[in-house]
Structure formats: structure tokens, C-alpha cells
Structure 1
Amino acid sequence: MVDVKCEIVIQRPRAAVAGFAADPNNAPTWYANIGSAVHRGGPPVGVGTLVDFGARFLGRELKYTYEFVEWVPGSRLVMRTAQGPFPMQTTYTWSDEGSATRMVLANTGEPAGFSKVAGFLMAPMMRHAMGKDLRKLKELLESGAADR
């Protein structure tokens, strides 16, 4: 079992942070390992939304589909995938931190196949990647680059 959580405080209002982070079209701009995200069915996002991702992890190309299983706009998003080598649940939570926003990114999953062999490496690698991704998100949002 892999269970990794990272958090960051972003100097932007919660609606702006949550709105940008929860939009699947923005994922490739702040996730280093995600090369593509295709939202099936188009906006708006909500419970049942399906997003096809193309990613690279541990030197392998991965294709997987996340389903939004919980959606509380501006507060919480839970996405889950059951197929692929690494069934995963990703949770975003956003809360006010004064005039800023605290974002928590959590990933839990049960590696299988190739990923199970590399399982002991996964948590520290995921923690490093997730921290880097959150720092990129912070940079995009605080610089105003996400508004362009």
C-alpha cells in the first residue's frame, strides 16, 4: 500500500486555487509527469466525470482514466482509477489559510505488476514528485501565469 500526502500554502483565494487545480485541462501545466489530460464529455466537472491521462513514471508510459467520485467545489475532489498497473485514489482538499489557500494533495493505492516490484521506491518518489508539482502550481498561481 502506498499512502502519500503533501501540502502547500498558495497566496491566492481558495476559489482561484481550487478552480485551476480541479480543471483537468490544467493538469499538464503543473504536473511534471502528466503529458496529456482529456476530459471525456466536456465541462462541467462533477461526480462521474472521466478524464483520460497520459503520464510517465519510473521510465514507463502510463495511460489511465480517473473518475471523479467526490466533488465539493472549492473544498474537496476525489478521483479514482481501478485499471492499469497502479490502482490509485487522488484527493485534493482546499481550505482557507488567512487570505491564502492550503492545498493538500494525497495519493493512495495498491501497486500491482511492475509497480508492485518497485513498490518500496514509490512512496518517496511520489512524495518528491508531488511536492515539486505543488510548488509548480504555487508558482503558476502566485505569478499570475495561470490567469493568462
Structure 2
Amino acid sequence: MVDVRTEIIINLPKELVAEYVSDPGNTPSWCSHIKSVEWNHDTPLRAGVKIVFDERIMRRHQRYVAEVVEIIPGQKLVVKTRNSSMRMETVVAWQAVNERTTCMTVWSRGIPRSFSKMISPFMALAIRNTSRRNLKQLKKMLEFSHRRMVVL
């Protein structure tokens, strides 16, 4: 079993962070392994919506479908994936620290299919490192773009 929880403090209001992250089209800008995203843009993001991700991990290209299981705007987004190597559930949650600061948490849990239980700790480490790197990228990008908008 893989069970990884990461979080970061972003110096922006919760509503701004949640709105940006809840748009699947923005995912490639802050998730380094996601190269493109496809879904029906005309459908509001809600439970049951399926999103196709193209990703590149460890020099391997793969497509997988994620299904939105739950969405509470501004609070949390839950998606499940079933790709060839793992079934995974990811919960993204936002909590206001104060009116200008957000704590964003990403919690990924899953069961590797083709790997033995001995490989799970290495997969957890890889997922943790990728998640931390992605959250740092998101923080840097959102805070920088918000500062530029305030200055302009």
C-alpha cells in the first residue's frame, strides 16, 4: 500500500488557489509529469467527470483516465485513477490559514498492481518527491503571477 500526504503553504487566498488547481487544464503548468489533459470543457467539473492525462514518468509515456469522485468547490477535490500499474486515489484539499494564506494538502493512496509489496516504499518515496516538487512549482508560479498582476 502506498499512502503519501504532502502539503505546502501558499501565500494567496484559498479561493484563488482552489479555483486554479480545480481546473484540470491548468495541471500541466504545475505537475511536471503531466504533459496534456483532455476532458469535455463544456461539462462543469463534478463527480463522474472523466479526465484523460498524458504523463511521462521515468522516460515512459502513458495515458490514464481519472474520474472525479467528489468535489466541494474551494475545499476539496477527489479523483481516482486506474492505470496499468496502480489504482490510486488522490485528495486535494485547501484550508485557509488566514485570509491571505492557504494550506494545500495532496494525499495519494493506492495499491500497486504489478509490483510486489517490497516495491511499495520506493513508489511512496517517488510519489512524495514528485508531489513536493509539484507543490513547490505551484506555489512559485501562483505567487509570482499574483505579484505581477498586483504590480501591473
* 2:58 corresponds to: 58
* 1:19 corresponds to: 19
* TM-score (norm: length of structure 2): 0.88
Cα distance in 1 for partners of 2:129, 2:64 equals: 21
Residue deviations 1:57-100 (CA, integer Å, cap 9, x gap): 23322211111101000001000023432111111000001121
* TM-score (norm: length of structure 1): 0.91
Unaligned 5+ residue runs, structure 2?
Answer: none
* 1:140 corresponds to: 141
How do 1:65-80 residues align onto structure 2 when only pairs under 5 Å count?
65-80=65-80
Residue 44 of structure 2 is aligned to residue 32 of structure 1 = no
* 1:97 corresponds to: 97
SS of the counterpart of 1:87?
Answer: strand
Tell me by how many angstroms 1:120 deviates: 3.2
Once superposed, what is the RMSD of the aligned Cα atoms? Answer: 2.2
SS of the counterpart of 2:39?
Answer: strand
Cα distance in 2 for partners of 1:116, 1:40 equals: 37
Give the AA of the match of 1:93.
A
SS of the counterpart of 1:64?
Answer: strand
Cα distance in 1 for partners of 2:3, 2:54 equals: 22
Q: Report if aligned partners of 1:85, 1:115 keep a CA contact under 8 Å in 2.
A: no
Alignment length (residue pairs): 148
Mean CA deviation greater in 49-58 or 25-34? 49-58
In terms of Rg, which structure is larger? 2
Cα distance in 1 for partners of 2:55, 2:90 equals: 15
Work out the percentage of aligned pairs sharing the same amino acid: 33
Mean CA deviation greater in 115-124 or 29-38? 115-124
Tell me by how many angstroms 1:41 deviates: 5.3
Residue 85 of structure 2 is aligned to residue 112 of structure 1 = no
Tell me by how many angstroms 1:114 deviates: 5.3
SS of the counterpart of 1:47?
Answer: coil
Give the AA of the match of 1:4.
V
Residue deviations 1:99-133 (CA, integer Å, cap 9, x gap): 21100011111111258774331111111110010
Cα distance in 2 for partners of 1:117, 1:61 equals: 24
